Amino acid sequence: MSSSPEELHPGNWIPYSERPEWADVTPLPQDDGPSPVVQIAYTDRFKDVYDFFRAVLKSGEKSARVLALTEDALELNPANYTVWHYRREVLKATDADLKAELKYCRDIIEDHPKNYQVWQHRRVLVEWLNDSGSELRFTELILAQDQKNYHAWQHRQWVLATFKLFDNELAFIDRLLTDDIRNNSAWNQRFFVNSRTGGWGKEVVEKEVKFSLEKIQLVKRNESAWNYLRGVLDACTDSECAKEQRELVDSKCRVLLAEGCDSPYLLGFLVELLQWRLEGEKDDAQVAKMVSEAEELCERLANELDVIRARYWTFIQNTISKKYGRSD
C-alpha cells in the first residue's frame, strides 16, 4: 500500500532519502524473511523513517540529527521501545538538554497518556536530573483527565518513594475522594501512603478504620471503602488492636444492618467477621448461633443482593457449615 502525496509530504515533510544531509547513510530495509505470514502495509513515510533508523542503529551513530530522527520515528510509533532506548543513549552521548527533553516527554504523554514506554523514559530523565520538582503536579494534571491512569499512578508512587515526598499526599487523596468517593485508585493510593510512612500500628489503624467507616456512612454501597477497611484490618500489626477494631467494625455493621441497609458489601463483611469470630469461639451454642447467622447472610446474598456471585456465596456457606460441624 503506497501513501498519498498528502500523507507522504505533510506540511514541509521531506523524506530522509531525499535529504542531502543524509546522503551518507544507506537506509536499511526491514527484513521480514522470504515469506512473511502477514505483510504489514507500512506507509511510505514509515518505511523511509525506520529504514534510516535501522541504519543508524546498526552503525551506532549518536548525533543531533539522529536525535531528530528518533522524534520522527516516535511520532509514527510512540510505543517503540528500541527507539526510546536508543534516544536515551543519544541524549547521553550528545550531552543534550534534559530539561528540554522533559518538555518533549510531557508533550508525548499528553498525547499518549497510557504509553508505558514514554512514562519509563520520563522516570529515567528524572533519575538523571535527580529532580522531582514538577512530577507530582504533572501526574496530578494527568490524573485530572483520567483518574484510573495506571501509568500516572505508578510514576507518582515511584516519585513519592524515591524522593520521600509523602508529607502532603494524604491531603491530595482527600481532595480526590471529596470529588469522587468511589475513586478506587485514590483509595489504593491511601493504602500505599500509609504502608510506606507510619505503617499499620495501633494509631494509624484506629485513624483509618474511623476514616473508612465515616466514608461508608456517606455511601454504603461503595465497594472501594469496604475493601480499604478490609485491607486496614488485615494489615494491622498489633494483634490486640486488630481484635478491638474488628469488634468495633462488627458493632457498626450491625447498626447499619438494623437500620435496613442492604448493601451486599455490608453483608459480605459481616460474613467475614463471623468467620473471624468463629476461629476463636469455644462455646458450642455460640458457634451454632454464628454459623446459623452466617448461613442466613450467605443465602440472602446468593438469592437477593449479590445474585451474580450466587455460586460463591453458596460455596462460602457450605464451607462454614462443614468446618464448624454443620454439614446438613
Catalytic residue list: 114
The cell for 225 is: 471503602
Cα-Cα-Cα-Cα dihedral of 216, 217, 221, 225, to 10°?
-10
**Sign of the dihedral defined by the CA atoms of residues 285, 288, 292, 297, in that order:** positive
Asked whether 209 and 233 are in contact (CB, 8 A), the reply is yes
* Distances 148 to 106, 113, 153, 166, 298 between C-alpha atoms, Å: 18, 11, 8, 20, 32
DSSP string, 114-167: T-HHHHHHHHHHHHHHT--TTHHHHHHHHHHH-TT-HHHHHHHHHHHHHHT-GG
Distance (Å, whole) CA 271 – CA 291: 10
Q: What is the DSSP letter of 302?
A: I
Q: What are phi and psi of 258, to 5 degrees?
A: -65, -30
The cell for 37 is: 505470514
